[in-house]
Amino acid sequence: MTILVIAEHDNAELKAATLNTVAAAAKIGGDIHVLVAGSGAQTVAEQAAKVAGVSTVLLADAAQLADSLAENVAEQVIAIAGNYSHILFPATASGKNVAPRVAAKLDVAQLSDIIAVESADVFQRPIYAGNAIATVECTDAKKVITVRTTAFDAVSAEGGSASVQNVDAVTDSGLSSFVGREVAKSDRPELTAAAIIVSGGRGMGSAENFKILDPLADKLGAALGASRAAVDAGYAPNDWQVGQTGKIVAPQLYVAVGISGAIQHLAGMKDSKVIVAINKDAEAPIFGVADYGLVADLFTAVPELVGAL
Amino acid sequence: MKVLVPVKRVVDYNVKVRVKSDQTGVDIANVKMSMNPFDEIAVEEATRLKEKGVATEVVAVSCGVTQCQETLRTAMAIGADRAALVQTDVELQPLAVAKLLKAVAEKEQAQLVILGKQAIDDDANQTGQMLAALLGWPQATFASKIEIEGDSAKVTREVDGGLETISVKLPAIITTDLRLNEPRYVTLPNIMKAKKKQLDTYTPEDLGVDVTPRIKTLKVSEPPARKAGITVPDVATLVDKLKNEAKVI
């Protein structure tokens, strides 16, 4: 049994999500290969070769693979899919984009967002915004899977010594092209990888008020997050959104400020180790999942908390 | 240009579902059902394209039980011109739905298919991508902005870390993200008008599609419950608990 893991990267750096996906592959058991599809991605392949547990890194390097267009990346995966029993993608925007395309071309089902591996063909995945956990058996010969990265502890990025092999890149599909990118700037840790997250909701009231979370996040070395209500109201950029339709996070500490705790939000953060809720409404559903709840006005409690740290 | 909009009937997003005690699934008998929120956004976008004169006809399609007709009537009340139901009592998984939609898209000669990015029941986020693969069309997933320019579509997508814009050749598949638009409310006169619109019914057999499930659900269980928390009286206690009890700061 050989497992293929599709690397998440930006052509310069291997992203941490790959390490969690390799961890899931290790749970399935078998030889683990990593595919790096990109342009000028030799360094990424070298980083992938050092990842613990990886035996072979396949590098497909070509200009048409630079921007992870689904059409080209899917064809690249299919070109080498014949050798593998399992094909794993991290459940990131990019993994979710490509994995179903690969599965349909192979005429197999795809499993989304697995959170546990029970055997080589039995997995657990959340449904209904995390309100139920389904244990599913995949009956197809090849398993195409996306892995919820927060559910698997990352393997070590060092210690491996895989060989790097070049594979032929597929030709450009010509169906789509990359136009541009607008990257949200942030000096803070990446949301999905942060150990501490401070999140604001509708209760923040405005984009200016949202800034009172800055000193708190600075003190804690935390990433900033937001509920959908805060994002929709324009208080925070949309890639800060934590929830069923945004990012799924599981930090050591999650501080929810002015967030009521709708089920769609809880789906994105309820696996955090410790949850703190600051809300003036004692009836808010967030207190149902919080380890420590503080019923207080956030505009006095947050500065006070910054002072006390 | 004809636009096809697949819609799904799901448990209403405000309902907190319960797992059945025999662990065979979640209890959806007698709970409120409605159109998947992402699909509403898809219907709205298709309707706006028609209002701009870009689309000539909007056809809503749903796959599943007879009651999906209600969901299709809602789509027609928002603005779809007519609808098609692929009726079956079999549990449909994304690959099967993608195959059914492929057959309908070919029958209708659609130039653009707009789907929701995921359904809030199975949370799969697969059908659009699978449909694109089966048709051999390009895909633009998680769209927050769509501009049709001649024979291509310029689509801004929500990705990790920000936004990216791609251009896809038509015919194409687009899946909607939350911020694409704000769906309009359906008005009573439009609900009445929707009742008179055409609704065709097919079966998977008519379309020659095998819908046998590929994934077997062995059991459905409750997620592990969090241990009950405590309410702290003030900030000082909170900091003390985080430092000395939880040891996370």
Q: Which residue in this structure is represented by tokens 């290969």?
A: A33
pLDDT recorded at residue A183: 86
Most A-contacting residue of B160, B179, B220 (CB-CB within 10 A), to test interface: B160
B160 neighbors A94 (Cβ within 8 angstroms) = yes
Q: Which residue in this structure is represented by tokens 């709708």?
A: A262
B218 near A CB under 8 A: yes
pLDDT recorded at residue B172: 98
Give start and end residues of each alpha helix (H) in chain A: 16-28, 42-49, 70-80, 93-105, 207-210, 213-220, 228-232, 263-269, 298-308
pLDDT in tens, chain B (249 residues): 999 999 999 999 989 899 999 999 999 999 999 999 999 999 999 999 999 999 999 999 999 999 999 999 999 999 999 999 999 999 999 999 999 999 999 999 999 999 999 999 999 999 999 999 999 999 999 999 999 999 999 999 999 888 999 999 999 999 999 989 999 999 999 999 999 999 999 999 999 999 999 999 999 999 998 888 999 999 999 999 999 999 888
pLDDT recorded at residue A42: 97
- Determine the average pLDDT of the residues in A25-45: 97
B164 near A CB under 8 A: yes
C-alpha to C-alpha distances, A213 to A71, A223, A238, A239, B74, nearest whole angstrom: 40, 10, 17, 17, 42
pLDDT recorded at residue A187: 84
B39 CB neighbours in chain A (<8 A) are none
Which of A107, A109, A274 has its CB closest to that of B248?
A274
pLDDT recorded at residue A287: 96
A117-133 pLDDT tens trace:
999 999 999 999 999 99
Give start and end residues of each alpha helix (H) in A64-212: 70-80, 93-105, 207-210
Calculate the CA A145 to chain-centre distance: 14
Q: How far apart are CA A2 and CA A48, in angstroms?
A: 17
- Determine the average pLDDT of the residues in A15-36: 97
pLDDT recorded at residue B228: 84
Q: How far apart are CA A25 and CA A45, in angstroms?
A: 18
Percentage, residues of chain A above pLDDT 90: 95
State the nearest Cα–Cα gap between B197 and chain A, in angstroms.
Answer: 32
pLDDT recorded at residue A185: 76
pLDDT recorded at residue A134: 98
Q: How far apart are CA A21 and CA B147, in angstroms?
A: 35
With an 8 Å Cβ cutoff, are A179 and B124 in contact? no
Token pair for B49: 């394209």
Q: Three-state DSSP class for A118?
A: coil
State the nearest Cα–Cα gap between B51 and chain A, in angstroms.
Answer: 25
Q: What is the pTM of this model?
A: 0.95
B229 CB neighbours in chain A (<8 A) are 275, 287, 289-293
C-alpha to C-alpha distances, A17 to A77, A95, A152, A192, A210, nearest whole angstrom: 18, 10, 10, 9, 28
B214 CB neighbours in chain A (<8 A) are 108-109, 138-140
A256-299 pLDDT tens trace:
999 999 999 999 999 999 999 999 999 999 999 999 999 999 99
When pLDDT is cut at 50, 70 and 90, the band that residue A186 belongs to is confident
**CA of B127: which chain A residue's CA is closest?**
A100
Q: How far apart are CA A125 and CA A135, in angstroms?
A: 7
Asked if the model's pLDDT at residue A184 lies above 80, the reply is no
With an 8 Å Cβ cutoff, are B246 and A175 in contact? no
With an 8 Å Cβ cutoff, are B126 and A112 in contact? yes
Give start and end residues of each alpha helix (H) in chain B: 37-51, 68-78, 94-108, 127-135, 188-196, 204-207, 235-240
Q: Which residue in this structure is represented by tokens 């009172």?
A: A212
Q: What is the ipTM of this complex?
A: 0.95
Helix (H) or strand (E) holding A183: strand A176-183
A232-262 pLDDT tens trace:
999 999 889 999 989 999 999 999 999 999 9
